[in-house]
Amino acid sequence: MVKFLARRLVNYIILIVVATSGTYFLASKTLNPRARFEGKNPPTPESTINRNLDQYNINPHVSVFHRFAKWVDMLFHGSLGQTPFGESVAWSMYHRMGVTLQLLILGSILGALVGVAAGVLSAVKQYKLTDNLIGGFSYLTLATPVFVVATILEIIAVQINKAVGHKIFVYTGAFSPGLQGGFFDHLGDRVSHLILPTLSLTLFGLAAYSRYQRSAMLDVLGSEYIRTARAKGLTRRSALIKHGLRTALIPMSVFFAYSFGLILVGATLTEIVFGWHGMGELLVTSIQQDDINTSTALVGFAAILILLAGMLSDILYAALDPRVRG
């Protein structure tokens, strides 16, 4: 198993280097940092523009290979560079990462757990009312854009707040600025802001995981070892739990690992709708602002997450399938 994971690690590191390098060259060729100086009255002197862009290593007049070599050198010295506004890229990502993790960890885990349970139930109750209800809900959710679901949740929250005469659900931002009070006051405020975006992510997780888990479970239900277990005297429930569920979870472990790795920069619309200033929003903002360093760093960070997700999926796969350990 150690050799298996070591080979995978080498492959993932190569992919990270290729993805990050490719992103830097692509961003350098498509983004235009000089655009924010254009159209000013009076015009900014060319020498001032070049000096400013050289300071942040984003001057298009300098060879892209030279800029990339300088960026790699900064990376080995622990720096991800600066934004066109003089802010540290690493510092911006550090603050945004904490905001996103608050939102995504709970939403991802809840979505996976509820989705897997719904998928198993749907497979066991194939073609019955339960299966049809779960399937209909899943397809309806997956067919609805994220911002529409988020907006519907906000409308429902407003109506509930009006009905109870108290602001139970808060749907803008991660916390209330200037809130006074102790620990539990701040904790309650964070929770009230967290409910709706977490619910939005959970609903989409439930819809996606339930479909995958249903398919995997249906394959298991018709397998010979389930029939053998039943023939040995196990009840249908015991055979499914002891033998079927573990096998059906193997492909789901891979799906969950990669989904969790991608979602840290993939929940962009959820963050924007609910006013959470996280990593997804930062990626969109960096592209809008022609920020080469930040966009490259974010893609590199996403690539590292995929590496970790891949390692996690390999470990989970080996833990669930003994054949891989050899």
- Full 3-state SS string of 135-193: HHHHHHHHHCCHHHHHHHHHHHHHHHHHHHCCCCCCCCCCCCCCCCCCHHHHHHHHHHH
Per-residue pLDDT averaged across 314-319, rounded? Answer: 70
Please give the pLDDT value at position 260: 66
For the chain, what percent of residues have pLDDT higher than 90?
Answer: 23
Residue 323 binned pLDDT confidence (cut-offs 50, 70, 90): low
What local confidence, expressed as pLDDT, does residue 230 receive?
67
Per-residue confidence band for 103, with pLDDT thresholds at 50, 70 and 90 = confident
- For residue 214, tell me if it sits in a domain: yes
Which of the two residues, 106 and 178, has the higher pLDDT score?
A: 106
**Tokens matching residue 220:** 């298991």
Distance of alpha carbon 113 from alpha carbon 115, whole angstroms: 5
- Is residue 41, in this structure, part of any structural domain at all? no
Per-residue pLDDT, 244: 67
Measured CA to CA in angstroms, residue 176 lies from 4, 98, 164, 295 at distances of 48, 16, 20, 29
**Within a domain: 51:** no
The pLDDT score that the predictor gives to residue 297 is 92
Question: How many domains does the chain contain in total?
Answer: 1
Mean pLDDT (whole number) for 266-293: 86
**Token pair 């619910």: residue:** 199
What CATH number should be reported for the domain holding residue 283?
1.10.3720.10
Is position 261 within any domain? yes
Residue 200 within a domain: yes
How many Cβ atoms sit within 10 Å of the Cβ of residue 12? Answer: 19
pLDDT in tens, 7-64: 777 887 888 889 899 999 999 999 999 888 887 878 888 888 899 999 999 998 899 9
Q: Is residue 47 part of a domain?
A: no
- Structural domain boundaries enclosing 106: 2-35+81-325
Residue 44 lies in a domain: no
> Backbone dihedral region of 81: left (phi > 0), alpha (psi from -120 to 50 degrees) or beta?
left
Q: In the prediction, which pLDDT does 132 show?
A: 94
Q: What pLDDT is attached to residue 143?
A: 92
| Mean pLDDT of all residues belonging to the chain | 83
Closest C-alpha to 89, from 299, 293, 285: 293
Q: Residue 275: pLDDT above 60? A: yes
Whose structure tokens read 């997956």?
142
| Residue 277 forms part of a structural domain | yes
